Structures are given as structure tokens and as C-alpha cells.
Amino acid sequence: MKSTVSRGVAVATAVVLLSAGLSACGADSGGDTVRLGAILPMTGANATYGKPLRQAAELAVNRVNAAGGITVDGRARKVELAVYDDGTAYAKNIPQVFPQAVLRDHVPFLMTAWSTYNVAPLLKANPVPTVDVLAATWQPPVTDLDDHVFLLRPFTPDIIPGVPTYMKKKYKARRIAYIGPDEAFANGQLASLKEAAAKSGSRVVSEVRYPADSTDLSSSVRKALASHPEAIHVGGSTQAVAPLLTQLYQAGSKIPVSMYTGMTPDQARDLIGPGLYGRVMAHVHEFEGVTPQTNPSRAAQQFGKDFKQRYRSYGIDLTQWSYDAVWIAKAAMEKADTVTDKEAISDALRDLTVPSATVTGWRKRGGERLFNKQRQATSLSVAMSWDTAHNTWAPSYYYTAGLPGQTVRRADVTAPDTSATKG
């Protein structure tokens, strides 16, 4: 596979894409350029997420450089983003791409997505501050694996507890059926759902798990419906749930459905079909971290508009966190006054206040800190209903949750108008 190099439009900043096993020239981060590393799934099953993650980080790099770069020891340095493709084959490829980033290219900062469980063991011998924007699961939390891992993304315990709370509030639904592939992300949702349902006075009445490579899901749908649920939660990624939603619709079900995927209106249209997706999605509710379109933060809303103008696509929730990760790297290096001392940069991250250029609207900790003692950041989550008139998501309920107790707290914020963001 060839490497490709693209150039930002606003600022001539190299964004280098490196695939597993590919050799390339290194960069001395102690010179005039600081190379930030990002290990992302640019190919394979999770490439749907890798592309917008890279795009958002690229946009942030361009803006950091336009603002003067990273200033350390009185000298400004340009930022470069090196993207290492893990191919969504983490066990196979991380042992190759991690040494490329850390030992060959000497990156002083890593951004990861999905792969942190495979990256963390390698941090023992070669520690580098690692910001995870897309944790695969939560048992155990990725921040328990190594003290150089920092979690930005609201992960399963931040999202799923809102499902039984919202379903009971909106539909008086207490009996929840679960359907999902037998894989880590989906199974983590099920574990969190069962715990949260018990706490809220609801219960999971059926657990239907199928092999991750299954294509005929009709029997799984029938098993779930046979338990007479009042609501259904479908587990898994965007690609996993799209056929499930279609088959639930084809089975005649009008039971409210919840999911935690990050599926955009564009993806719903493309995966389900332009002539069908509006009807399939009519009873579906998405639970996720706030997107630029649903975020009450004006900075996030403007970022969403800029992202869509630049890339012609709806910015999903994780684009904010990828964008912010670059600004967080800049702030930590400037606080530590180094672009090479990885331990000093890690220490700066632990005590970092929320950088003013970030857009997510982080829920500040004591003393304005970004991360708590477990090195986890917190931002708003949202339950969204499908707006059938505009074929888009409409925010219904904002909240926070998270470990250790997965306690749901409603957030009293004003929802933006999302009717113009149809797919």
C-alpha cells in the first residue's frame, strides 16, 4: 500500500498517512517541526470513523499553525500530523505501527482510536502521552491500563445509562430487549445497559447475541420480539446496526429502538437506502456524545459548520474530540515547555486546564482541570429522536453519566435547531 501525503488548503501542513509495515522518513520533533502521531483505522471495518477523525485533526493542525504553532523555550514550531493506519486489525498491526510512530518517528504525543487496548502494553517500555478519542469498551477502562493514557471520548458508561432513563421517561418502557453482535463494543453496551436498567427500575428481558459476521439477522429479531419488549436496544457499530434496523422495520416492529453508534443522517441514507431510511429510522433514538450540530456550545456549532463546508460531510461527535486533541497537545507542550520530554508532557496533561481553543464544551473539574484523577474528561451526552420531517436527528434529552456509579444527571441546556442538518 502506498503512503499518501495531502496538503492543507489554509496552511501548507503535511498530513502523512502511513500504513502498517511501511517505512518512511522520520522527523526530529526537537527541530522546527513537531510531529504529532495518530494511530487510526483508515482502512478496514472502522474506516468509517478513521476518515473524519483524520479530517478533524488535520483542520486543527492547520489552525494551530495559522495561530503560530507550538511555542516552547521562546521558539515557535510548526505542527505536522502523521497518521498511522492500523487497518482495524489491532492485534496484528499495532506491534508494527507503534514502533514506527514512537521509535522511528519519535512522536512526543499519540492520539488513538479503538486501538488503545493494544497500544497500552507497549507504553510500559516506551511511554508516550496517549489521548484516546474513541475507546472500544470499558471493562476495564483504558485509563486503568497505563498511566500515560488519557480518555477524551464519553465512552459506554457515559452514554448507555441514559437509555433506560430516557425510555422510561418518554415511553414508560421498562422491558428492554437487547440485540447485538458478539464483540467487545456491543458486549460492553449490554453490560452497562443491564446495570443501568437495574438501577432505574427497568430490566433487560432478552439478550440476543449473534456472530459478528452474520448477515441474516431475522432469527435474532424474532427472538428479541418474542420477549414482548417495550423498547429494544441494538448494540454495535454503525455498520452493525444498519441491517438490524432494516430487519426490525421489515418485521413490522414499531417498538422504540435505542442505539449508541454515532450514525449520521448521511450514513443512515447510504447504508439503509435513500428510499427507505426515513421510514426505518422513524422509531429510532441515538444516544451519543453531543455532535457539533447538537452541542449547545456555540464554538462546537461553528466548528460543525466549518467542518461541513470543508469536507462536505456531517461532523459526528468524535470529530470534536479529535480536533480538540491537537489543541490539547499544544497546550500540554507549552505548559511543560518541551516538545520532546514525554514524561513532562504527560505530567502537564494531568494538571491541564481546559484550553480555550477547544470546542467540545468540556465539563470542567475542580480548579478548571480537563481530566479527573482517573485521567478521564467529561462532556455532555444526548438522546436524539429521528426528525421524520427533515430526515435528521433532533436532540431530546441532555445528560451526563460515567464511572464509577453510571449515575444519570440531566443537563439543563438549550438545544440548537438541527432541522438544517438533514442527510
Query: What is the rounded average pLDDT for all residues in the chain?
Result: 89
* Structural contact between residues 257 and 284, judged by C-beta atoms closer than 8 angstroms: yes
State residue 83 phi and psi, 5-degree precision: -100, 125
The mean per-residue pLDDT over the stretch 344-350 comes to: 98
* Structural contact between residues 339 and 330, judged by C-beta atoms closer than 8 angstroms: no
* Grid coordinates given for 420: 438544517
pLDDT digits (tens, 9 = 90+) for 366-421: 668 999 888 989 899 999 999 999 999 899 999 988 777 778 988 888 877 766 55
Residue type, 276: L
Share of the chain above pLDDT 70, in %: 90
Region of poorest pLDDT, from 15-24, 86-95, 317-326: 15-24
Specify the pLDDT at position 235: 96
**Greatest CA separation for the chain:** 68
Share of the chain above pLDDT 90, in %: 71
* Grid coordinates given for 346: 504527560
Given a cut of 60, whether residue 9 has pLDDT beyond it is no
* Structural contact between residues 90 and 137, judged by C-beta atoms closer than 8 angstroms: no
The mean per-residue pLDDT over the stretch 17-21 comes to: 47
Given a cut of 80, whether residue 365 has pLDDT beyond it is no
Predicted confidence band of residue 138 (pLDDT cuts 50, 70, 90)? confident
- What is the pTM assigned to this prediction? 0.81
396: nearest Cα among 167, 153, 236: 167
Specify the pLDDT at position 184: 83
Instruction: Count other Cβ atoms within 10 Å, centred on residue 176.
Output: 28
pLDDT digits (tens, 9 = 90+) for 256-292: 999 999 888 989 999 999 999 999 999 999 999 898 9
Specify the pLDDT at position 354: 95
36: nearest Cα among 96, 4, 82, 98: 82
Given a cut of 50, whether residue 6 has pLDDT beyond it is no
H or E segment to which residue 422 belongs:
none
Specify the pLDDT at position 59: 97
